[in-house]
Chain A
Amino acid sequence: MLRKPQYIALGIVALLGLILLSLSESATQRAKITLTGLFLPLFGFTESTQSAARHAGNSIVPREDLVRELKQLRAEKQELEFTLTQLQEAARENDGLRKQAGFPVRLPWKLKPARVIARDPANWWRTVFIDVGSKDGVRVDMPVITPDGLVGRVSVVGASRSQVVLLGDQNCRVAAKVDETKENGIIVPYAADPSIVTLTYLSRGSPVKPGQFIVTSGLELKPGNQVLTSGLGGVFPAGIRIGEIVDVRSASFGLYQEARVKLTVNLNALDQVWVVAQ
Chain B
Amino acid sequence: MNRLETISILLAAWLAVAFEVSFNGFRNWFGAQVSLLPALMVYVALTSSLPSVVLLAIVGGLAQDSFSANPLGVTTVALALTGFLIHYKRDIVLRDQIYAQVMMGFLGSSLVPACVVLALTNSHHPVPLTARLAGQWFVMAAGGALATPLIFRLFAQLTRWFSYQPFPESHYRGTGQLKRTRF
Residues of A with Cβ closer than 8 Å to B?
2, 5-6, 9-10, 12-14, 16-17, 19-21, 23, 28, 31-33, 35-36, 38-39, 42, 46, 118-125, 127, 129, 155, 163, 165, 169-171, 189, 191-194, 268
For A122, give its contact among B53, B69, B72 (CB under 8 Å).
B69
Bound: A262/B72 CA distance, A: 33
- The yes or no answer to B145 lying at the interface (CB within 8 A) is no
Bound: A121/B119 CA distance, A: 17
For B21, give its contact among A12, A119, A191, A193 (CB under 8 Å).
A119
Bound: A17/B67 CA distance, A: 17
Bound: A189/B88 CA distance, A: 41
A-B contacts besides A33-B66, A123-B140, 13 pairs, CB < 8 Å: A6-B84, A12-B54, A20-B72, A46-B22, A118-B22, A121-B68, A122-B33, A122-B64, A124-B133, A170-B128, A191-B130, A192-B130, A268-B28
- The yes or no answer to B57 lying at the interface (CB within 8 A) is yes
The B interface, classified by DSSP as helix, strand, loop or mixed, is: helix
Size bracket of the B interface: 35 or more
Given A6-B50, A118-B21, A121-B17, residue A20 in contact with residue B133 (CB < 8 A):
no
What are some 29 contacts across the A-B interface (CB < 8 A)? A6-B84, A9-B53, A13-B54, A13-B57, A17-B77, A28-B72, A31-B72, A32-B65, A39-B17, A39-B21, A42-B22, A119-B24, A119-B27, A120-B69, A121-B35, A121-B68, A122-B69, A122-B70, A123-B32, A123-B136, A123-B140, A124-B127, A125-B70, A129-B67, A171-B125, A191-B133, A192-B130, A194-B31, A268-B24
